[in-house]
Amino acid sequence: MSQSTGMPGEMNRRQLLRRIGLTALAAGPGAGLLSACATAGSGGADARTPATPAATAATSAANPLGVDPKKPLEVVIFNGGNGDGYATGLHQPLYRKAYPQAEIKHVPTQKIGTQLRPRFVSGDVPDVVNNSGPEALDMAALAAEGHLADLTALFDAPSIDDPGKKVRDTLVGGVQENSLIDGVPHVLNYTVAHRALWYNAKLFAAKGWTVPKTWDAFLALGEEAKKAGITLFAYPGQVGPFYQVWNLVYTAAKIGGNQVIVDIDNLADGAWTNPAVLASVTAWADLQARYGDKAYFGLDHTQTQIKHLQDKVAFYPCGSWLENEMAKDKPDSFEYAIAPVPSVTATDKLPAEAIMVGVSEAFFASAKGPNPAGGLEYLRIMLSREGARGYTERTKNLTVVNGVAEGLDLPPAVRSAAKAQDAAGRNTITDARFESWYKELFDHSQTQTNAVMAGRVTPEQFCANMQKKADEIKKDSSVSKQTRSA
């Protein structure tokens, strides 16, 4: 469970803005606007105080969060692999059904940061944000500024489908733990994610290839793939190197156990120089040098995924949204299937079947938006049976709501992921949280990953460079620190 170590008392507004990525605005002609924003609507309150949206109407059994039925609602959706049709065709109509007088403004974008950073400075903030994609906002910094609503009321509210249950009692494990920033639930991760290696089951069947369970078998398959003119493994070096960051970290956890990830997230001394991290990076850099293709460092995720669909790449590291993202391009000759990363050593702490299972696709309600109660209600509707089941039908991604996907006709990728999760049992790899806790560290990890995979730095230098950045962040009093125990 995550908990706060406390916000440094001397953190100032400029330091917070630097974390959100707004120092250029703060230093420029808009400085006056920032000063106004610092006082407007804050009432002089400490920005560290968790913001709990107050009900704007009388609460009742039908309206437990006190939503003003006439207030408009603005929803910003990352229009990426999952599209935005689930919002316009499902969740928003459900909100309108409950509150027919409420006008909903829908804003789709692939540039969350570019569009929303200036708005959070000016105070013109949307009510609900799907904070996803390569330009995702720094959640810890937004929380420190008091922008993220406290989700306690949401989790404690009655479920739409069974008022005898609280919303929290309808969700899979890990949702609330992963919602915490400074000990307060601020983020709703809506989907269950499986991050591992994806391959074409039809290609493997045609070639007579077996999915490798050991690293030696992985390398042997590399020779077979090479003879067939297929690159064994590739990841996108542009707009997507974080896929390989995950791969390196989760492989390290397979070698050394989940404590490796916990230590990285906690900024523990020597976390990045742990022998398990070095062994993971060494193994992947060696595999890249032998059976990779540097041309992929210049491609983005869509371009690389097209190559994968063309059977020019055998294994591709990604999350379980992949099939839906590529549905329009996928030929009939391709059937997505998921494979855990092979065991690297004979003494790995986790077995070959171990696979990463976590929660992802972050949503938040704005504490300083015009309709904070409506924002929480929108999330409650998303967590209803109809909202969650419909999302899975449309996006082919499982949500964090228990039992709602039973009986659905799911595509091969989702069935494969579910089968892999069953095979892993309790041997699952925990999700890394430094991605959202320390965006500067996560951004640095992408640069360093490209460097080590391209052979520009050694695995030892990668570990040292990452540890140096982690130590800098640990010593930076302007960065709110988070901790977890598992």
pLDDT tens, position by position, 219-233 = 999 999 999 999 999
State how far the Cα of 302 lies from the Cα of 414, in Å rounded to an integer: 20
Q: Which of 172, 103, 227, 209 lies closest to 418 in space, CA to CA?
A: 172
Ordered by start, the domain boundaries in the chain are 9-35+50-190+358-409, 193-357+431-484
* Percent of the residues in the chain that have a pLDDT greater than 70, as a whole number: 88
Q: How many residues does the chain have?
A: 486
| Residues in Cβ contact with 97 at an 8 Å cutoff, skipping those fewer than 6 apart | none
DSSP state of 258: T
pLDDT exceeds cutoff 80 at 174 = no
Q: Which of helix, strand or coil describes residue 205?
A: helix
How does residue 58 score in pLDDT terms, banded at 50, 70 and 90? confident
State how far the Cα of 443 lies from the Cα of 137, in Å rounded to an integer: 12
State how far the Cα of 96 lies from the Cα of 436, in Å rounded to an integer: 32
Evaluate whether 9-35+50-190+358-409 and 193-357+431-484 have a shared fold: yes
Protein fold of 9-35+50-190+358-409: D-Maltodextrin-Binding Protein; domain 2 (3.40.190)
| Angle (CA) 44 50 56, round 5° | 85
pTM of the model: 0.70
Give 334-380 pLDDT, tens digit per residue: 999 999 999 999 999 999 999 998 888 999 999 999 999 999 999 99
CATH of domain 193-357+431-484: 3.40.190.10
Q: Strands 128-131, 482-484: parallel, antiparallel or unpaired by DSSP?
A: unpaired
Task: Report pLDDT for 320.
Answer: 87
Q: Strands 128-131, 73-78: parallel, antiparallel or unpaired by DSSP?
A: parallel
Least confident of 46-60, 131-145, 299-313: 46-60
Work out the average pLDDT over 234-238: 96
